[in-house]
Every structure is written in structure tokens, then in C-alpha cells.
Amino acid sequence: MRAVLLPSGVLIYIALYSVIPTLPALERLFQAAPGSAGLGISLPFLLLVLLSPLVPRLRLPVGVVVGGGLLGVGVFGVLAALAPNLGAWTLLRGLQGAAASAVPGLSLALLPRLFPGRGPEMAGLWVAGNVLGGGLGRGLGGVLAEWLGVRLALAVLSLPVALIALMVLREREPLTLPLPRYTLRAWPLYLIGFALLFINFFIANLMPYRLEALGLSQAQIGGVFFAYLAGIPGSALAGGLVRRWGAATAWRAAFVGVGVGLLLQIPDHPLPILIGFALMMAGLFTAQAVGGGVSGQGGSGVSGSYVAAFYLGGTLAGLVYPPFLHTPPLASLALALGVTALAFGLAVRATQGLAPGSTG
């Protein structure tokens, strides 16, 4: 499991996020109105929200749960790419999200056990893998959609996670976790998780439409989404930052970066948008790595609840962004800045009462 846990964190997010830059093209393919594919973004993450806290209660071997989830992400991703209409695509995307709920929370809770004494560092690397997967998925989704067509591109990008699932399911190492314990005392941590994916998805979902209006091609839009890779250095180093500064200070430094990145996106020109988007992602994923380490130390109940709150933010972003397609960019950036300020203010409270093992 040690050898495949981190790569699985890359491939699952390639499969899940490759659809983002293709949203306008998918809506044209299904002859649907602009913004109508939003449910296909929010539904998978709504099911992640609902199921992530329940997954730790499954009394199956952890490898079976994680491997089965990875297999479902790959298979349903391929089927969604072949969907005949928007309704079928939305349903299959929902099933893909349901399968994905088996992976993140358990992975974060497993890291301290698989890598004793290195939990924060490995959580940072796990999130760095998520960043790499999200960046590659979004970037390759746009580029391959132009080269291969939308359907074939999305199918190709879903296959690898199904293949690595077979490696996880063949793993014979017995892995167990204590029964999960849940606590509402960690609500500031959950709210920070909510804020992180809300900001991410809210701005990213609007980005293809804004860039298309500025005259960028499908491939160029996909290229902009490679800015997600800017989150790799900070997330990979987040464990060291936490050990040196503490989680609260590391979080606050990351949120300052997010705020500056949002401000840089105000001018209606591709270059400052790209620079600001990259800086925003660098800050968001550094903060996400800090949150992953904190939640993993709390046990599977806390980590599962944190993942649920995290994806609830993405779900709400998928529901909220369509009306902002018809407003000036400043309105959406102002909302994202407000959420960033809220998360900054919760940084200290989110680290309190979560000593290792205290809640899980």
C-alpha cells in the first residue's frame, strides 16, 4: 500500500478534474445551455460529502475499500465519457464521485500509520500528488479534447486510475484503522476545508468561460489550467512549514498568497489572470496540505468529516457559479476574497483540541 497510495492520489484527480476545461465543449456536444453541465461538477462532490464520513465505518479491509473506490472512479469515468446525453453523463459523474468517497479520508488517516512520525510530511506529499493530478487532469483535458475530441480524451484520462486500482486490490498487507470517532469541536477545521475547495472550484469553474470570451482556444484554456501545478512546491513542503511555524501560521501565510492571487486576476487580460491563478493555487494547496495533516492526526472520523466539508465547498461552488457567468469578474473575485478572509480568521481555532489520537 505504501508504494501505491501516493500515485493513486495523482490518478484519481486526473480522472475527476479532466472535465473542467471541457465544460463549454460538453455543453455544445449535448446541445445544452451554458452552465447546464454544472450539476455534473457538483453532484460527484455532493456524494463525496455524504459518503466520506460513512466510509470509515465499513468493516471491510481498508485495501478493499480504497481499491474498490479507485476502480469505480476509473470505470464510471470511462462510461461518462461515452454517455449519450447530459442526463446520463450527470448520473455517471455522480457514481464516479460516490466511488471516490472511499479514497481521500481513509488515505489521510492511513498516512500516520504507514509512515510513523512522518504524518504531516506525507500528508503534504499526498496533497502534492492531488495537485499534480488536478493540474494534469485539467491541462490534459483541454489539450487532448482538442486533439482527440472530448469523449476520447476523457475516457483516456480515466483509464489509469482503474489500472492502479487492480494493484491496490491485489495488496495482501493487512491494514486496519480504529473505529472512527466524530467531533463537532473541529468545526473550524471543517470550515477551512469547505473554504479551500469552494474558492478553488468557484474560480476554476468560471475560468474557461472567461478565457474563451477573451479569445483563447480550447488548448490554450487547458494550458492555463497547468497553473494548478504551482501548488506542488508549497504542498510538498507544508509538513516542514508546520513543524517550523505551527499549523496556524502556515495556514495564514498560505491564505495571504491566495488573497494576492485573487487580486491579480482583476485585470481582464490573460497574463495577469494566469499569474494570479497560479499564485492562488499555490496558496490553496499549501493550505490544503496543512489541513490534511491536521485532520489525519485526528483519526479517520475527523479526516472523513474534513474531506466531507472540503467537498461540500466544491459542491456549493458548482451550484453557485452559473449566475456569475453573467456578472463582471470583480463580483466573483470579491466573493472568493471574502471566503479567504474567513478562513484566515479561523486558522488558530482550527488547530485547537486535535492532539494526535484525541479524536480517533
| Domain parsing of the chain, residue ranges | 2-351
Q: What is the DSSP letter of 359?
A: -
Q: Which of 147-161, 263-277, 301-315 has the lowest mean pLDDT?
A: 301-315
Give the pLDDT score at 358.
Answer: 38
pLDDT at 9: 84
Q: What is the pLDDT of residue 345?
A: 95
Rounded Cα distance, 349 and 186, in Å: 9
What is the pLDDT, as a whole number, of residue 354? 58
Instruction: Say how many residues make up the chain.
Output: 360
Residue 117 contacts residue 312 (beta carbons within 8 Å) = no
- What's the average model confidence in pLDDT over 328-338? 96
pLDDT 10s digits, 154-165: 999 999 999 899
Residue 218 C-alpha cell reads as 480550447
CA nearest 101: which of 144, 149, 66, 151? Answer: 66
Cell numbers placing 186: 473541529
Cell match 476520447: residue?
152
Higher pLDDT, 173 or 156: 156
Average pLDDT taken over every residue of the chain: 86
Closest CA to 15 of 208, 139, 150, 160: 160
Cell numbers at 57, concatenated: 465505518
- What's the grid cell of residue 280? 492562488
Q: Which three cell numbers stand for residue 19?
A: 472535465
Contact 180, 55 (CB under 8 A): no
Q: Of 21-30, 63-72, 169-178, 252-261, which gets the smallest average pLDDT?
A: 169-178
The structural architecture, per CATH, of the domain 2-351 is: Up-down Bundle (1.20)
Which position has the higher pLDDT, 12 or 296? 12
pLDDT average, residue stretch 275-293: 91
- Cell digits of residue 179: 473505529
* Grid cell 480550447 in the structure block, residue: 218
Q: Which three cell numbers stand for residue 11?
A: 490518478
Angle made by CA atoms 163, 168, 172, in degrees to the nearest 5 = 140
pTM value surpassing 0.85: no
pLDDT tens per residue, range 191-246: 999 999 999 989 998 998 899 899 998 788 878 888 878 888 888 888 788 888 98
Asked if the model's pLDDT at residue 32 lies above 60, the reply is yes
Cα–Cα distances in Å, from 10 out to 7, 268, 305? 5, 32, 21
pLDDT at position 224 = 86
Average of pLDDT values for 294-315? 81
CA-closest candidate to residue 207, choices 22, 5, 352: 22
Percent of the chain with pLDDT over 90: 40
What sign for the dihedral angle of Cα 27, 33, 34, 40?
negative
Q: Which residue has the higher pLDDT, 41 or 147?
A: 147
Q: Could you tell me the pLDDT band of residue 105, with boundaries at 50, 70 and 90?
A: confident
Predicted confidence at residue 157, as pLDDT, reads 95
